Structure 1
Amino acid sequence: MKNEENYQKKAAALHYDPSKEQAPRVTAVGKGYVAESIIEKALENNVPIQSDPTLVELLSQLEINETIPEELYQVVAEVFAYIYQVDQKMK
C-alpha cells in the first residue's frame, strides 16, 4: 500500500517531428511540483495526457533532449497513436 505522504506525482513530456528527427525526444521530466507544472502546461495547451507510470519512470532516466532508446519505440508509438486518436476526436 502506498503511503500518500511519500507519493510524488511524476511526469514526462515528449516531442517528435518526423520530418526533422529520427525518434521522439524527452523535452521535460519532473516529480512533485515540477510534474504538476508539466501537466498544467500540457492542459493549458490542449496537449493530450496519457497516464503510464512505468513509461514515465523509464523516461525520467533520460536526459532532456535525449532521444528515446529503441527499446521504448513500441510503447511510445502506442502513446502517439493514442494522441492521434484524441486529436481526431477533438476535430
Structure 2
Amino acid sequence: MSESRNDERLRAVALTYREDDEAPRVLAKGYGEIAERIIEEAERQGIYVHGAPELVALLMNLDLDEQIPPNLYQVIAELLVWVRQIADERERPASTN
C-alpha cells in the first residue's frame, strides 16, 4: 500500500500473512526512497499495490513485525478480497470473439 501527497513524502507499508499468524503483520514500511523501493519490489514480485492514504497513515504507526490491530481487520479483509478479485480476473483466459 502506498500514498503520495504534494505536501508529504511518499509512504508505503508492506503486509505479510503466514498460516500461524492471527492477523497480517507489517513486513516493511518507509518514506521517500525506501517507500519507492518497497513499491518497486512489490511490483517486481507481482504483488498488487493499493493506494489508500488513510490506511497507509494508520499502518505507518505500527512497528515492524507488529500484527494489525483488530479495528483494521475489516478494511484489510476488504482489501484482500479486492486483491483476490484482480488475481482471478488476470488468471481467466481471454475470450475470443
TM-score (norm 1): 0.89
Aligned-pair Cα RMSD in Å = 1.3
AA aligned opposite 2:51: S
Question: What secondary structure is seen at the aligned counterpart in 2 of 1:81?
Answer: helix
Distance 1:89 1:64 in 2: 32
Q: By how many angstroms is 1:64 displaced?
A: 0.6
Equivalent in the alignment of 1:14: 15
Equivalent in the alignment of 1:28: 28
Distance 1:90 1:49 in 2: 15
Q: By how many angstroms is 1:7 displaced?
A: 2.5
Alpha-carbon deviations, 1:35-65, whole Å to 9, x = none?
1000000010000111101111111110111
Structure 1, unaligned runs of 5 or more: none
Distance 1:80 1:38 in 2: 18
- Report the identity percentage: 38
Large movers: runs of 4+ above 2 Å: none
* Equivalences, count: 87
> Which structure has the larger Rg?
2
Q: Which has the higher strand share?
A: 2
Distance 2:53 2:32 in 1: 14
Equivalent in the alignment of 2:63: 63
Distance 1:39 1:65 in 2: 18
Distance 2:14 2:89 in 1: 21
Structure 2, unaligned runs of 5 or more: 92-97
